Structure 1
Amino acid sequence: MSASLSYTVEDFDKTIPCKTVLTVGRDKNSDIVLVDLMVSRNHAMIRRIGHGDYYLIDGGSSNGSYVNQHRVTMPKLLKHGDKITIGGIDFLFEQEVTIQSDEDAMVMEDTIVHDTPEIKKITIIVADIRGFTSMSEQIPIRALTRMMNTWFNQVSDVILKQDGIVDKFIGDCVFARWEADEDEVTTIINALEAAELISEVTEQLNNDFTELTEKLHIGVGINTGAASVSTGVDNSAMGDAVNVAFRLESATKMLGKDIVLSESAYRHFPEEYWKDQEQKIRVKGKRDPVRIFAIDFDVLPRLIKKMKASLKK
């Protein structure tokens, strides 16, 4: 879905289309160059994730970036009509919205059919930074903004590298997925590799940001199951399988483990890893206990290697 930024500078009205990455700042190489001392050289960017989600990412600027008068401290999902303020300039974010008239009944009917959600088997990963809320209150806002933008960009790249789809970012949490209709095992491997890489990205932040008062680490939930996936521009997954993945991530805190997987996911592991180590836990929204298996990140290299070897046989 296409989007654009409209703004006025020196009495000239301008509209700039949003591409995959649109940069804003004083630097002459920025896509939108603002000659304003309140604007940093590399002030902010708008990055498209997936088919039509656009996020405003502040670059840790001195004076901040604002959406609807609220300062952005972590990547902010933009909506049609949002007002973005950078320095002394106000931008209007506009995103294409398709409206069909009564005269286009046939076209509208086709569109409705096209946008009807599909039921697909998917592998889901939910990764969340633990203790983020308390930590965010203890470090300077500029450092927090730079840190979260680094995490956002690198985690997005990790998911894409592993052939996944970033469904959405929710604060300090990423929800991503792989279609598993044809090759479930490969999607489980991809999810495990993504979890390992996201953990490495998060660990690196501990070295790069000396302002941190506590060590950052993540919890991960992985589930495989049927979900309703919209086929329109939203392209988001919903349903019980998604909800369970979020609950499994929450369970990592209770279990004191890095990763919690559902039975539909860990059953693809070599049996030696999970035999006699399964557990049953209660999760919100499920009447019966859910069978799970929990592991730590240090197990992943050997496990992934063994699963890949089994695929070649």
Structure 2
Amino acid sequence: MTAPSRSVPRRRLITDYGIVWVTVALFLLLAVTTDVFLSTANLRNILDQQSLLLIAGAAVTLTLIGGNFDISVSACFINAGIATALAVNATGSALLGVLAGITIGALFGLINGAVVAWVRINSFIATLATSFVFYGIGFILSDRSIIRIQDVAFSELARGRFLGITRATWIAFLVVGLFWLTLSRTRFGRHVFAAGGNPEAARLAGIRVEVVTLTTFVLAGAAAGLAGALSASRTLSVHPSDDFSFVFAVLAAVIVGGTSIAGGDGAVWRTVFGAFFIALIINGFNLRQVDPIIQRLIQGGVIVAAVAADNWTRSRRL
């Protein structure tokens, strides 16, 4: 009787925190096998490169736990950069530029949430469709051309440093912390889990599932908007595009971290580890000069393995 009772916690320790163990193991492996990996410059570079992804990923984690996908994150990200650039050039105000980026992202999130919650279209299809609409808006706003931000000082918002770390990274730490606390320590966070786990039971319990769904989409859009504004600050130029790569990177981090694609299970800290696990793989490949094609194959395999592990652990719990 004793052995089975001890094996259950051990098994849960492995399955529930598996992303932690593999990330730590990969970090130690790279530290031992690659001389440059532990350099301050390389570690700071990894943090800075992941900052925008972490901002959007923390919010998308709530959307996914709530039982929905948001494919429009890339469109929000790109349009926010365009809105930020236009606002900064028009007003000379960095604050108004950032607010413009966050506002357009939140507005797009509101549209997504309304379509999913009240029109009741599948979130994957709905946000895929709205993505094309949002991309079209970006081309109109930018007049199909590159926009350069005239105020060079605006770059300090993302590229300025405090204690040797970029401000974009510090902002990412703050945003991740806020979403982490929101999900794990608030009533709204509990409602997100309930809505994603069993929406009908959540409704019977008095939870306004549609409002929860709408809110998670608005938060995801606003976070993608902030990331887009910081991206504009980092490069001082933006251009319209219909590139989905940003949302794929965000979803990869969330899913590899262990947040369930079926909804009702996950955590912001998992997304953090998922993002850095993928970042360490890419960084290790680059330091070893591995062929980019091979990198794509392995990254795809990692995502498939993460989804398979999620399905396996869920079936074991049932």
Structure (1/2) with the larger helix percentage: 2
TM-score above 0.5:
no
Structure 1 or 2, whichever has the larger Rg, is: 1
* Higher RCO (C-alpha 8 Å, min separation 6): 2
Q: Tell me the TM-score normalized by structure 1.
A: 0.25
Q: Tell me the TM-score normalized by structure 2.
A: 0.25
